[in-house]
Structure 1
Amino acid sequence: MIHSFTFFRFFLLILAVEFCCGFSWGLGRSDPCEQARKSLDALSAASGSQKRLKQEEGILKICPDGAAGRFVKALQAERSGKADDAIALYREAVAKDDALAEAHGNLGLLLLEKGLNREASVELTKGVMGRPDPRYHRALGKIMGEGALPALALFHYSSARKAFPDDAVIHAGLAKAYEDLKQYDKAASEYDQLLLLKPGDAVARIGLAGVYRKAGQLDQAAGQLRSYIAANASDPKGHKLLADVLMERGDREAARKEYLLAGIDVTIDPEDFARKGDEFMAQRDYGKAITAYQTALKGRADWAGVQQKLGDAQMAAGHDDDAVATFTALVKAGVKDGATLYRLGLLSERRGQLDEALSFYRGALQSDPSDINARRRLAEISTWRGSFAEAAEQYRELIRVRGDNPLYHLNLGRIYVQMKELKNAIPEYEEALRLDPTSMEGHRELARILMRRSLPEKAEHHYQEVIRLNPEDEEARNALITLYVKQKRLDELTRLVKEWLERSPDDPQRHYRLGIVYEFKKDYEQAFSEYKKSLELKPDNARGLFALGRAYLKSGRISEAREMLEAAKKADPTFAEPQLLLSSIKYDTPSARKHAGKRKVHKRHAKTKAKRRNHKN
């Protein structure tokens, strides 16, 4: 039975090879992309580079733009070291065929190399569900171990170990997972196995010492650390760890010597200097706070709380590089709490390193999903970069936690506008304004949306609210003026402009605007009055002179119109409109009308004579 099964698989492989080489087997009606997709299984099983390359060429020949073709192109880009191109092609492949497990898995491996652990874990999980590749398990073990999920790390590393029994990374990961799960015997066994594979491995030696210490086996821990120090005598870390173990064992004199070798002054009272640092921070004397915290750490180097405070003091003082070094050291030491990662995100933002900032913020949320600050920064950066779908997701989560914050609703509404989802944007704006009715930007932006949705009555209300909050808001006033003019609501238009004028009666521009309104209503006497008041305040205003001349002309006061238009032309020779109106006035004088009448009579007589001649002929 085994032989028949093997033969059957061999037959399928030969069939796939023949197909990829161009032999159709008479299946002219079959979908070439579907057959190319099926041939990927044979491609994965193929051995020998030449054979595999021929199969890849066959797939590209029959279906270059399908899921299978994109997958093969991604493989080739990856082999050429073009990781970004490979990532893009793998994404295209899974977009066309989400069931393509190997594309998901390979994409996850590349994303992990770029430090995008969260996205990588999603792709690797999809990959391992469809194709239990040990590489995917190993990568997931690393992600879960770093994400403080030891049980999942243990599962994936154990699955990978079957294929890679001598992989030092896997044994180190298993040891750490067992240690986090407090299974110290199994952790020690994995560290022992790691030391067999890499006898001089410092991580394994220190890790094994740490396991013995946690298990209460202090003699064994001290023995491992002495072995480490014998090979790394200048490393203060080994001396410090040995001093801690000796202190726990009660051997204070020996511990003191090791502390001195580690560069730690045991005469310092760390608690006292930490308190002094807190006092200086409260006084905003950041330089002295930094010095106090650094002194405290000389007496207790692994005091994570004081390291955190030191980083905060360095950030406050603007010493960003020092703060990054402090927080990074904390992370390397295993302190991966949300607060530390959030601060590293802020520091990365300050440096303009947005990819790194996003990674730290995501890490902070993995540690503490309720971290509103990290989620808000994620939302804002995503908005800046045009990743509106992700930004909307983050704002929706913020609203779920803090739905009483009007800014979250306002920003989500803005995101929906960018996504052209105006129907979804309106309720968010309305909720933001319910929570904060004084938001001018909220009223203004909602009014614009309502105008786009052909809802002028509702838009008018929000423009009026803007004017109520800020009577000098030009955009809202102009929008209302346009609305009233279109709807021929001249009384509201007049009242709006008069109220604006009453706020600054010595503003020539406002008198001029009110004059235009009266002129539009054909109330010329009122228009004359407002234009004149404007010109009293600013006599050389060419547009004011022109407007008064135009109003005179409309009311039949020709000589006064000519006078104002001439003055407007003189005030601004580049202003063309006064000259045009003056030309029309000259053409419309009695003399011009008389000459025009004579020309018309002459033309009429000429036409009559021509008709008579034609009739005689």
Structure 2
Amino acid sequence: MLVASMAAFHSRFLFPVLSASLAVAMLGAPSHARVMPFDPADRSRDFLSLQDRRPLVQPALDALNAGRLDEAASIAAALISPGTAPDIVAVARDVIGTVLFQKGQPDAAAKEFELSLAANPNQFTAMTKLGLIAFDQGRMQDAESFARKALAIQPLNPIASRLLGSILEEKNDVDAAIAAYEAGAGDTPSTELKVALGSLYNQRGRFADTLRLVGKTPQAGDDWRLLFVTGVAQVGAGQAAAALASLDAARSAQPDDQNIALAQAIAQRRAGRLDEAVANLEKLTASKPDFTAALQELGIAYLARQEPDKARVALEKAAAQKPRESAAQRDLGRAMAMAGDIDGAARLLKEMIARPNATLADVSLFAAVLENNGQFGDAEQAYRDALKRFPGPASSARLASNLALQQKYADARVVISDGLAKTPDDPGLLNMASLVAQREGRMADAIASAKKLAALAPSAPQPLLLLASLTQASGDAAQAAVLYRSLLERAPDHPVALNNLAALLTASGDITEAVALATRARAVAPQNAAVADTLGAALLKANRPADAVVAMKAALELQPDDPERRYRLALAQEAAGQTKEALENVRGALAQPDFPNAAAARALQARLGAKP
């Protein structure tokens, strides 16, 4: 493009700061100001048609692009005379305006750009740069007007597209900003563009789009902003291990960035590294007590560690800072319920759902608290009221779930059928149709619904997990293993798929791979008792009883009141020659005699008691 160097504006224009929110989708950008995504390569675009007159202006452009500002201005000024063609005058004024801007004279530069447009109203580069100056001065309405006029002249103007995206982002018109950035992305988007557009994709929960835009996963040493945006997308996409690698690298480059610290803590929590998450969040909230999102995430991390009293303290602080924000109220209600204050939680949530700005999520949590307190009928009424207030498949699916909990399967089928008649491809309703069919023993129908659900979202892990689980429950272990492997190709760190496939392979005798998969699952989900138990079972079958005891002890520590866990530890201890310990644990298990392997536990007790 015969521009009066768009690239010369590269370092002058900053994005507005985006603050982080608790939700991963809202962790759009680092807390530092971001450079507007103007790529120096844009200088080479040629949208003007000066034909044989190009040599007249090229020396000025070359001098400008080489940073020889005074020379560029001098050459351009010499071109301005009454006999010079208007389009040449327009480019010359454009050059002079850019020089003035680079010398810190934006008002004088704007006058030159206006003269450029007077000479040639189609000099869209001058129009664009007037928009850039307005943006830099905070005159957003003028900036938007200039950007739209420039795009009307030349729709393939990437700088104007990105400028418009920045303006729309400032106005919080996220979807329109995304469209503008996409229009300016081109085939090889710059890092700045990837950061800006990826941030907005993340805000909208479009994590796959962010990862597609970024392309090759950035590594330590790459631009920290790109590492951050990629890490947030990886968290949202369920790639916890990859997210931690990206966010750890971003944190190393920017150790004081609070948004990166928050995203890192969320990734740690989702990866099961709860102690690290809590430690990071306690430090973060101590340094910045008014960081509501961090307080809220700290409360959630405490809940994950089964520490509802600590969670309540953190969430009460978050709710006090933003008393009208539903997310903080919801989590506070959850903490109160976990702490045993069911009535208090119900009162808080009932008050919240009475507000005009209440959401279906608010009603769902209120109903869940009622369900956990055994008030299924009251919860059902809450869901029926929600269906009237928020008509749609999501409300239908929640009501169907409540009815299934009450074993009102016929009523649940009616709600699901009515919902699917209006939205036949709704994932939530198809999921409930599958689960209700499973509860009723209609496995063929359950699998058929799950297959339809998986076909609607072929890249999503959850539908495939449902299909694999149902296939496993139907007794088709070989096909279930195929489905789990397919899931792991899409989400290599998926703990349930790793665990379940390991269990299947343990049963089929493929012990080497079973131990490897179970070990991976344990690394991804170290706080999950079932995962530790699966590893123990695989190690036991691999004739490694001492290692199996370690894994089974970890499972029992995570669920100390589960007689099944204690019985399975006793089995491993028997194999390891730890007869006394095994007998002690099997007796402890049989103190709660009603569990699936109680008969086998009694046989183990008799066998152990007979040993010297």
TM-score range, shorter chain: 0.3 to 0.5
Richer in helix (by share): 1
- Specify which structure has the bigger relative contact order, considering alpha-carbon pairs within 8 angstroms and separated by 6 or more residues: 2
Whichever of the two has the greater Rg, that structure is: 1
> TM-score, structure 2 length as denominator?
0.34
> TM-score, structure 1 length as denominator?
0.34
